[in-house]
Structure 1
Amino acid sequence: MTLFERDFDGLEVGERFRTESRTVTESDIASFAGLTGDTHPQHVDAAWASGSRFGERIAHGLLVLSYAAGLMPFHPERVVALRRIADAVFKHPVRIGDTVHVEGEVVETRPIDDEHGLVACRWKVVNQDGKLVLRASVELVWRRAAVREPILL
């Protein structure tokens, strides 16, 4: 059973996990720019970006953070909510064609009430070369006991 399939009371500080990976595409960057309105030429204009310090277009930092959240294999009967993302630091540009994954660690668990607990994690988003591109602290609301009946979505 993976960490994300267990109840809150079965988690331990120090546990580590690694997600599957995802490759950044030009289409993802264009879609993210359209959805968010962040059309900075560093992301969407190849000619402009070729003269920038990065020499080419790069992914939006918040797109990479969104990838990280999307790569988490949250079990819907265990993880109730992503409560907080804090201290996000964008360490290295992510380029079209880069493949990223998340390496994480549980750093704190704290009961909230009889039904829920708070799980604090550190996320490190790493590219295909092993380079750290993003780090963040995350808090998740976790169910303390298994749900007896499935949640209908």
Structure 2
Amino acid sequence: MAGEFETVEVGEGFTTSGRTITEADVVNFAGVSGDFNHLHTNAERMADSGYGERIAHGALVFSVVTGLLWQARDEAEKRHMVAFYGIDRLRFIKPVFLGDTVHVEAEIVDKERRDHPVATGVVRTEVTALNQADEAVFSAEFLTLRR
């Protein structure tokens, strides 16, 4: 992936490594966020639900996606990232269960020059997270400010 805004090309894409969502992830996220909803924390109650088991917090999945994206970027690209600017069209398509492994496929779909004090423009990236069965579980468009 290119680093500087000027060298970013629409159509560039990459795939991240995978990460398994663990019990510890869900417990720690519940503690940090204060979200102890039974969907995430009550195995007995969820056994009788339509899901049949606990599901990961959507916000946890989002956080894992952002982490995977950051880890996949090279140092040149990281140096030219100014800020995470926003999210469009965020969807949690399917539940992510404890033990699922997700990876991310990303493609740059647009870039727009901006008059900004520390950035040259905004890069729009289409992001899809897939589980171990290659089923889409999350999608969004991420916007980043770049130099």
What TM-score does the superposition give when structure 1 sets the normalisation length? 0.86
1:16 aligns with 2:13: yes
- Sequence identity (%): 39
Q: Distance in 1 between matches of 2:131 and 2:122?
A: 28
Q: Which residue of 2 aligns with 1:89?
A: 91
Q: Which residue of 2 aligns with 1:7?
A: 4
Q: Distance in 1 between matches of 2:20 and 2:82?
A: 27
1:51 aligns with 2:48: yes
Q: Which residue of 2 aligns with 1:129?
A: 133
Q: Which residue of 1 aligns with 2:60?
A: 63
- Per the TM alignment, residue 127 of structure 1 is displaced from its structure 2 partner at its CA by 0.6
Q: Distance in 2 between matches of 1:76 and 1:131?
A: 29
1:30 aligns with 2:32: no
CA contact (8 A) 1:112 1:118 kept: yes
- Per the TM alignment, residue 49 of structure 1 is displaced from its structure 2 partner at its CA by 0.9
The code of the aligned residue for 1:90 comes to F
Q: Secondary structure at the match of 2:59?
A: helix
Q: Distance in 2 between matches of 1:129 and 1:81?
A: 32
What TM-score does the superposition give when structure 2 sets the normalisation length? 0.90
Q: Distance in 1 between matches of 2:14 and 2:146?
A: 16
Residue ranges of structure 1 left out of the alignment (5+ in a row): 144-153
Residue ranges of structure 2 left out of the alignment (5+ in a row): none
* Cα root mean square deviation, aligned: 1.4
- Per residue, is there more helix in 1 or in 2? 2
Q: Distance in 2 between matches of 1:40 and 1:83?
A: 29
Q: Which residue of 2 aligns with 1:108?
A: 110
The code of the aligned residue for 1:48 comes to R
The code of the aligned residue for 1:79 comes to M
Q: Which residue of 2 aligns with 1:142?
A: 146
The code of the aligned residue for 2:132 comes to Q
The code of the aligned residue for 1:95 comes to F
Q: Distance in 2 between matches of 1:109 and 1:86?
A: 14
The number of residue pairs the alignment matches comes to 140
Q: Secondary structure at the match of 2:17?
A: strand
* Greater mean deviation of Cα atoms: 126-135 or 72-81: 72-81
